[in-house]
Every structure is written in C-alpha cells, then in structure tokens.
Amino acid sequence: MNPIWEVSFGDFLLVTVILGGGAAFLTGRAAAADWRGTRELILYVLLLGCAVRFLHFALFEGTLLQPWYYVVDIVVLGIFAWIGRRLTRASQMGRQYRFEYDKKSPLTWRRKA
C-alpha cells in the first residue's frame, strides 16, 4: 500500500484531485465571496472529505473509515480550498477596497503606502 493513495494512483487522481479538488476550489471561492471565516471553510472541507472517502469506497472498493487516507484527502482538499479562497479574496480586496489595498499577486494584496 502506498501512503498517499489507497487503491491506485488513477483513482486518487480522479476522485481526490480532480473531482474533490475542483469542488474544494469552488467551495473556497464561495466562502470568500460570502466573506465567511476560516472555521466555516474548514468545516466544509471536512464534510467534503467525507464525500470523497465515500466515492473511493463506492466506486473503487476503498475503505470507508480509514483515518490515514481521510487525512490525506483533507490535506489535498484543504490546499485546493485555500487557493480558491485566496484567489477570490485577493481579487475582492483589490477591487472593492482599491482606495486602501493593491493586489500584489494573484494570491496576495498589500496596503497602499
């Protein structure tokens, strides 16, 4: 067994990275668009991790209640959710508060001098 994927790399790539990562990215964007806090985003990622584990179980005969692979899925989903949130938040700060902030890069902003 591999410490990152349970059944095969293809199933990990399809379910966790493409399907789950895409959903987590959109969840991060939605949380940022509604100005929701980090705690709520973490809750959403934990719930999304349960859905991803279920898909591994139902489609590829993975284990449903495997804590290690759940943590791996949560980490991957959390990265995608964080990127979606930061992209949206940096855009919001540069657009809605342009009198005080400049968009420094796609993921960051800075206060004007």
**Span 7-43, pLDDT tens digits:** 889 999 999 999 999 999 999 999 999 999 999 999 9
pLDDT value, residue 45: 97
**SS3 of residue 109 by DSSP:** strand
Res. 1: pLDDT tops 80: no
pLDDT value, residue 2: 84
Contact 84, 28 (CB under 8 A): yes
Give residue for tokens 């991060």.
28
CA 92 – CA 108 distance, rounded (Å): 11
**Span 53-83, pLDDT tens digits:** 999 999 998 888 889 999 999 999 999 999 9
∠ CA 50-53-59, nearest 5°, is 135
Helices and strands: H and E segment counts in the chain: 4, 2
Q: Is the pTM of this model over 0.85?
A: yes
Contact 58, 49 (CB under 8 A): no
